[in-house]
Chains A and B, each alone.
Chain A
Amino acid sequence: MPLDYKKGFSQGLAIGLGYLSVSFSFGILAVSCGLTWWQAVLISLTNLTSAGQVAGVGIMAAGGFPLEMAATTLIINLRYSLMSISLTQKAEDSMTTADRAVSSFFVTDEIFGVASGQDKPINRKYMLGLATLPVIGWTLGTLLGALCGNLLPEILAESLAIGIYGMFVAIVLPVSKKDKGVAIVSIFAVILSVTFWYVPFLKENVTSGFAIIICSVISALTGALFIPRKEKRADG
């Protein structure tokens, strides 16, 4: 039996619950940056990405330029291109261009992870099922965070705003333990980021969005040129 909506839907539960709590933190962060609750919700519903949204809200708060937004979003979300390329290898032949155009909206790290782990080829119905609860969780969590962030005592709201960064650490550190290349690139990125943050000339002249682009491209490029990847076995 091919993968269907129901199969995807049930597999999306764990992702949805995770997104609910993380986006709560995003909602608080967005409101603390000066956005309204509906702006925060709209951002989550239309973007469905954590790191890109955090950077995007930072640019909005700073009144940044459209080009800065495009460049930052492009670099931060570039990884989705690779995931999409990888997912095409698993797509059913029957998937039309429209099916692909719809399904690709939902490519996130976690949804990609689950979808690419399937034995069978994926299709539009399965992808929509898999994305349903994550989209609801991501949007609802943002709404709750944006609204309740105001009701919560300041001290609690402040403490919750840091949660999304905790999740970023949880993505990077376990991989860095096993993969020296990722560890070195990550440490290099942090060193560059600290430099941009604290050196007065850079701090005053480079906006946070461009600083992220510069730090990550330099460190990833250095890694790609000087630290070859270990051969992956079997799966190719």
Chain B
Amino acid sequence: MDNGYFFLLLAVMVVTTYLIRAIPFVFFRKKITNEKVKAFFDYIPYAVLSSMTFPAMLYATGSILPSAAGLAAALILSWREKSLLVVAIGTCAAAFAVNLLLLMTV
């Protein structure tokens, strides 16, 4: 990708992201009352994160087994409601451990 195209895509990304945050904050003064619209906005972040994470996470380290270990660690730590930081570190550590193990056994 050449720099010109990078800056074009970056500009689109920045302007869109900013306007999403700014337009409501600058102009909106009332509360949403429609239950269905409200529910849609409630669900959207989780729907986005879920569809982004799986199955992409299984391919994030380049091979399946370390990624699966990372996923398992993330699920266990999150289930126990550890902080974002702890879960992120635990995920990496599990993937790294399995990566090392594979390296030693091959």
Contact = CB atoms under 8 A, between A and B. Distances in A.
Contact of B50 (A69, A105, A186): A186
Contacts of B21: 77, 80-81, 83-84, 104-105, 107
Interface of B: 1, 5-6, 8-10, 12-14, 16-18, 20-26, 28-29, 31-32, 35-57, 60-62, 66-67, 70-71, 73-75, 77-79, 81-85, 87-93, 95-96, 99-100, 103
A104 B17 CA distance: 10
Given A54-B52, A193-B51, A175 B46 contact: yes
Where chain B touches its partner, the secondary structure class is: helix
Interface in A103-146: 103-105, 107, 109
Range of interface residues on A (Cβ < 8 Å): 35 or more
Given A158-B99, A167-B84, A172 B46 contact: yes
A229 B39 contact: yes
Contacts of A155: 96, 99-100, 103
A81 B100 CA distance: 43
Interface string A26-45: 00010000110001001100
Contact of B49 (A46, A70, A91, A168): A168
A56 to B, nearest CB: 5
A192 B51 contact: yes
A215 to B, nearest CB: 4
Contact of A74 (B6, B16, B32, B60): B16
23 contacts: A18-B83, A18-B85, A22-B84, A25-B92, A54-B52, A78-B41, A85-B28, A91-B25, A104-B22, A156-B96, A162-B92, A163-B88, A165-B56, A166-B70, A170-B74, A181-B43, A186-B46, A189-B48, A190-B50, A197-B55, A212-B51, A215-B47, A219-B43
Contacts, number: 301
Contacts of B16: 69-70, 73-74, 77
Interface in A179-236: 181-182, 185-190, 192-194, 197-198, 208, 211-212, 215-217, 219-221, 223-225, 227-229
Where chain A touches its partner, the secondary structure class is: helix
Greatest chain B CB density within 10 A among A100, A169, A190, A224 is at A169
B32 A85 contact: yes
B5 A81 contact: no
